[in-house]
Amino acid sequence: MTAAVSVIRERAALARKASKVLANLSTATKDAALIRIAELLESEPAELLAANRADLDAGRTEGLDPYFLDRLKLNPAAVAADTRTVANLPDPVGEVFDGRTLPNGLRISRRRVPLGVVAAIYEARPNVTVDMAVLALKSGNASVLRGGKEARHTNGALGRIIQEALREAGVPGDAVQVVSDPDRAHVEELLAAHDLIDLVVPRGGAALIEHVRRNATMPVVAHGEAVVQIYVDEYADLEMALRIVDNAKTRRYSICNAVDTVLVHRGIAGEFLVRLGGLWGEKVTFIADDEAAAALGLGVSVQSATSETWTTEHLALRLGVRVVGSVDEAIAHIEEHGSHHSDAIVTENYTHANRFVDEVDSAAVYVNASTQFTDGAQFGLGAEVGISTQKMHARGPMALRELTSYKWTIFGEGQVRPL
């Protein structure tokens, strides 16, 4: 325990020292480091994939859920592409905004600055190691990254590549600290290090996120379980609705923006649910209220919904289905049972669409599109360090700007405040 504790504080202190250098690095230097990371990811996939196979094999042996194994897979080419995208984005550091001259002649504005040291605690998803590192670097922050034991081999290999790229680009190697040792003492000491770490982002299951929220001594940005809903309105184009629901559930069911509940207006429920059941057959299990179950008909897998159905993030080929009588009832359901992550309406009615956008209190609200777009890369942010359902500082996919703060700058010509 003592050794683990001393290692974490030592690494966080090194990151803190490196953050002072990073805050003043040129955009060109930071971008060169990111491009070199991408190049090494592309040129050394064999090492990475071998490490990833070791983690996947261990996960299968341990009996990890299929959705967890899916999250554990690494695609070096895709991660490299996202890294290049981040390198090509504008550098937020130094941006001056809200500038004005006061009546007394003081010229006042705000200037965007890095947070300092950001930490991430996460399960599976080794791509988070690279996403977090490159977004932190581009925004002038050092990072301390503690992945889960399930991805320790992959994270260790990624950490070596990142360190090599930093050294070659002339960036302090201590700027990115990848902790692949699974000792749980690391997490507790990291959460206590508020004097060295400015922000922590947990990514994983509800238990991990709740633990971090309860024990962190520094600010936390996170979301809980992501219960995602789509409302198919009475004015929906049914062909469009089928495409959207199919994509939102089956494209990749293991991610947080996959739909968990479909609300269907009573006026079109019969036709829509028969067609959806015909599209999927027994591929997806429907967990339906009585009215929806009756509409689905034969040839599909149906279970009876309970009160827990509407608050469950399934992460599986399971879908809650409920029939509602109006857009008001759909909005009320989302408010009562949703998690404020991503919710959508499918409709051709302009008034209903705008009411949904105005009244649904979620980080991402969609009209006529799949919820699976809630992703930093898909939003043009290059990557993300997480998706926040909070309302302070950051909401939705967090990327470069969300890893910065600002300072007020005031330029005068000898002004003093009157007595």
Are 407 and 315 in the same domain?
A: no
Distance separating alpha carbons of residues 322 and 334, to the nearest angstrom? 12
Question: Residues of the chain with pLDDT > 70: what percent?
Answer: 99
β-pair partners for 302: 286
67: pLDDT confidence band, cut at 50, 70 and 90?
Answer: confident
The answer to whether residue 416 sits within a structural domain is no
Tell whether 236 and 105 lie within a shared domain.
no
Domain assignment present for residue 418? The answer is: no
Q: Does residue 4 register a pLDDT over 70?
A: no
Structure confidence by residue, pLDDT tens digits, 17-51: 999 999 999 999 999 999 999 999 999 899 999 99
Same domain, 234 and 209: no
Report residue 1's pLDDT band, with 50, 70 and 90 as the boundaries: very low
Structure tokens at 145: 């990254």
419: in domain: no
235 & 217 share domain = no
Same domain, 395 and 350: no
Query: Domain check: are 317 and 368 in the same one?
Result: yes
The structure's pTM equals 0.89
Percentage of the chain beyond pLDDT 90 is 88
Each residue of 113-154: pLDDT tens digit? 999 999 999 988 899 999 999 999 999 999 999 999 999 999
pLDDT reading at 2 higher than 60: no
Nearest-CA neighbor of 198 among 224, 216, 180, 175? 216
Return the closest-CA partner of residue 330 out of 189, 229, 179: 229
CATH assignment at residue 287 = 3.40.309.10
Residues 8 and 35 in one domain: yes
Number of domains in the chain: 2
218 and 234 both lie in a single domain: no
Does residue 12 lie within any of the structural domains? yes
CATH of the domain at 107: 3.40.605.10
Is 248 domain-assigned? yes
> Does 417 map to a domain?
no
Q: Are residues 12 and 52 in the same domain?
A: yes
Claim to verify: residue 47 and residue 178 sit in the same structural domain: yes
CA distance 99 to 106: 11
3-state secondary structure of 408: strand
Residue 282 is part of which domain span? 229-373
Q: Are residues 247 and 180 in the same domain?
A: no
Is residue 378 included in any domain, yes or no?
A: no
Average pLDDT of the chain, as a whole number = 95
Structural domain includes residue 257: yes
Whether residue 35 is found in the same domain as residue 21? yes
Convert 165-186 to b/e letters by CB count within 10 Å (16 or more is b): bbeebebbebbbbbbbbebeeb
Q: Dmax of the chain from CA atoms? A: 83
pLDDT tops 70 at residue 8? yes
pLDDT tens column, 200-213? 999 888 889 999 99
| Residue 3: predicted pLDDT | 55
pLDDT, tens digit (0-9, with 9 covering 90-100), for 302-318: 999 999 999 999 999 99
